[in-house]
Structure 1
Amino acid sequence: MRLADATWPEVAETNAELALLPVGSTEQHGPHAPLGTDSLHAESVAERTAEQYEATHDEPCVVAPTLSVGVSAEHRAFPGTLCLSPDTFRSAVRETVGSLAQHGMRRVVVVNGHGGNVDALREVTATISREDEAYAVPFTWFEAVGEHSSRMGHGGELETALLRYTYPDLVREDRIAEARERAVDRWGEWVSGVNLAHDSVEFTENGVVGDPGAGDAELGAELLELAVEALCEVLEAVAERDL
């Protein structure tokens, strides 16, 4: 169930205890991919997982509205990027989970699509579980796609492939050549194991890390299947956990 599409009596009737909260970002993803890429991917994984989970379990799973602005200061030099401080982002996640818990959805998996959110989510879900009337854990989709995870860049192969499968009309295919030509192979500017760059513009002129031309829709379908399978396993464990 998509919470935003439901009425309040429909929510009350579900007696749902499980919820997925997609979180992403609004930030540059190169000249070929939309600013909302991370949020779209988090939504896709969450919604497909809820559908699959409800089809195989006699238990509802609610998908909350996406928090689509994240911790993205590293991309601030690129027009259109919006960013929250880690404190504000953590507060938004915690208060949203608190609202879900107030209506009985006390077991929440935060489905993440943006690398810049990872540290803040690890911290806030631990705080929620220790101090609030809820239990929450983070899940980042691109960390759960097996060997493909090692090729995760930014606006690169994996993110573009998943877009080509889920939202093909949003990929500016006429700009792929430009994205590839000016992309870099690695995130950061490293010396003796230290990343000297705080902002992405310091090491990638067009914001792309990786090869967006390498990922087709077939790969995107595989990525989505792997992420959904992994998230279903997490949901099962969260549903069974003794709180």
Structure 2
Amino acid sequence: MPGLDEHDLAGAVWPDVLADPLVLVPVGSTEQHGPHLPLSTDTVIAQAVAERAAGILRGRAAGQVLVAPAMPYGSSGEHAGFPGTISIGHAALYAVIVETVRSLALWAGRVVLVNGHGGNVRTLDAAVGRLRAEGHEAAWTGCEAPGGDAHAGETETSVMLYLAPHLVRPFGEVEGDTRPLAEIMPDLVARGVRAVSPSGVLGDPAGSSAERGRAIVDAMASRVAARIGGGRVGENGRLIDPGVASPGPPP
């Protein structure tokens, strides 16, 4: 495809776009990630995972696979206590997702949102659920790292050391709250991240490495590609891992 750099929709011209492509839309955030990681961390990760998943799918899918420009703002109100955070909240993000997919649906065959920020989950559930009720071929999936820490700890620091090492500041002296997320969640929801962790870190970045980051990104991309390729969609448009039973109705 002349003029098209692999899956880059932003760098394409309109004749490069074939009929009914699969379009992946990275959804990130602009929010604090401790004193050592950039505000763009979630967006960088979502973009990288989407691009790598598209590369995997390209060898398997019959049609074209494209990656749209990332959405850089999300629902990040829990990080509002830190300068630099930009949160557009649930209602605005909901509207952006709905209108973006409605526009894509005019020419795309299928749209999958690839999410890099946990605070966007409620909005993605609501927005994609509505889009599917309208008849759109839309779904979403997250960039989870099973067993990883919650925020700006070893997991995300390792990933950023691999993806964008020039953006990572020294982290040897950084201290975070290392308690399980379930234990701190009530305080986090009620008072925000700063009340729980003055550094903004939920986890411990010590021991982070680019080598570990590469393994995490590869695993994330493989899992996202497997979900997309499997095409199994659960409640509110969330893609389900192949081989995992579909969740039943709530009790």
TM class, shorter-length: 0.7 to 0.9
Q: State the Cα distance separating 1:16 from its structure 2 match.
A: 3.5
**Paired residue secondary structure (1:231):** helix
1:1-243 paired onto structure 2 within 5 Å = 1-11=7-17, 14-103=18-107, 105-131=108-134, 133-142=135-144, 145=145, 149-172=146-169, 174=170, 176-179=171-174, 182-186=175-179, 190=183, 194-195=186-187, 197-238=190-231
Higher deviation after alignment, 227-236 or 155-164: 227-236
**Paired residue secondary structure (2:172):** helix
Identical aligned pairs, as a percentage?
Answer: 36
CA distance in 1, matches of 2:163, 2:61: 25
Higher deviation after alignment, 24-33 or 48-57: 48-57
CA distance in 1, matches of 2:148, 2:220: 15
Question: 2:142·2:224 contact (CA, 8 Å) conserved in 1?
Answer: no
Unaligned 5+ runs, structure 2: 1-6, 234-251
TM (norm. structure 1) is 0.86
Q: Deviations over 1:174-223 (max 9, x none)?
A: 2x0232xx3111366958x8446331011100101111122211111111
Q: State the Cα distance separating 1:227 from its structure 2 match.
A: 1.1
**Paired residue secondary structure (1:5):** coil
Q: State the Cα distance separating 1:120 from its structure 2 match.
A: 1.0
Question: 1:106·1:134 contact (CA, 8 Å) conserved in 2?
Answer: no
Alignment: residue pair count: 226
Higher deviation after alignment, 209-218 or 21-30: 209-218
Question: 1:107·1:239 contact (CA, 8 Å) conserved in 2?
Answer: no
CA separation of 1:107 and 1:151: change in aligned 2, threshold 3 A: same
Question: 1:128·1:136 contact (CA, 8 Å) conserved in 2?
Answer: yes
CA separation of 1:189 and 1:224: change in aligned 2, threshold 3 A: closer
CA separation of 1:239 and 1:186: change in aligned 2, threshold 3 A: closer
CA distance in 2, matches of 1:99, 1:187: 40
Q: Deviations over 1:31-64 (max 9, x none)?
A: 0000000000000000111112113333211111
Question: 1:23·1:39 contact (CA, 8 Å) conserved in 2?
Answer: yes
CA distance in 2, matches of 1:202, 1:65: 34
CA separation of 1:190 and 1:220: change in aligned 2, threshold 3 A: closer
Unaligned 5+ runs, structure 1: none
CA distance in 2, matches of 1:184, 1:237: 37
TM (norm. structure 2) is 0.84
CA distance in 2, matches of 1:166, 1:190: 31
CA distance in 2, matches of 1:44, 1:101: 23
Question: 2:150·2:181 contact (CA, 8 Å) conserved in 1?
Answer: no
Question: 1:45·1:224 contact (CA, 8 Å) conserved in 2?
Answer: yes
CA separation of 1:158 and 1:188: change in aligned 2, threshold 3 A: closer
CA distance in 1, matches of 2:216, 2:110: 25
CA distance in 1, matches of 2:26, 2:129: 17
